[in-house]
Structure 1
């Protein structure tokens, strides 16, 4: 979706990014610094809420990470049933995408942070 113009990070995406990066992990401080200047565009054609993240501050510090940030979100419906997951991807030390994936067939929008349980996982490169 590289042809779409970059826009501001939606409020719900910013809240999710802040919740993800609130975990005290080695890559988090640099990624928090990058998040200040991040711009975004849709990151998927299925209609879900996945976003491509573009850090516009070339001077922002690089994170010591390439791959998946080691915190995963599990999204719950009104009944508390897990319905989706959230992943934050980092490429060459820079924020790359915030992905939501459904456990069912339908694409989902980004959820409110109060619908998400955060779980630390080992980094995946």
Structure 2
């Protein structure tokens, strides 16, 4: 069973999909039809999507799996503890991954949202 798109996922997608980038514009059009199918159990916030592909147009990313967005996370102290990646399969949003590069700073989707909206 899938759930509606949670605010944290919707917010981070909005922050990392650049409205000036044509591929990202096409992916943004898919978000209203997107649902979370599952989430990582470690607490990082990584979300795997379900999407009714009959209701949306694929983004021009080509076949296979690609990273459509890759945004490094910066803390208020300038540390870069990880990144957010948006994966697309065959032009359709597939999953949002939160990666940690640090054992010293907890990286989660909530932290990513906070760092992405904090003034630099």
Please give the TM-score of this superposition, normalised by the length of structure 1: 0.75
Question: Residues 60-93 of structure 1, C-alpha deviation per residue, up to 9 Å, x if partnerless?
Answer: 0111114000x32222334231111100000011
* Structure 2 runs not aligned, ≥5 long: none
- Secondary structure at the counterpart of residue 88 of structure 1: strand
Residue of structure 2 aligned with 1:25, choices 21, 28, 36:
21
Counterpart for residue 113 of structure 1: 113
Alpha-carbon separation, structure 2, partners of 1:107 and 1:6: 27
Counterpart for residue 14 of structure 1: 10
- Secondary structure at the counterpart of residue 27 of structure 1: helix
How many residues matched?
A: 112
Give the helix-richer structure, 1 or 2: 2
State the 4+ residue runs in structure 1 displaced beyond 6 angstroms. none
Q: Map residues 1-125 of structure 1 onto 2, 5 A cutoff.
A: 5-56=1-52, 58-65=54-61, 66-69=65-68, 71-105=69-103, 108-110=107-109, 111-116=111-116
Taking only aligned residues, the RMSD between alpha carbons, in angstroms, comes to 2.3
Per the TM alignment, residue 26 of structure 1 is displaced from its structure 2 partner at its CA by: 2.7
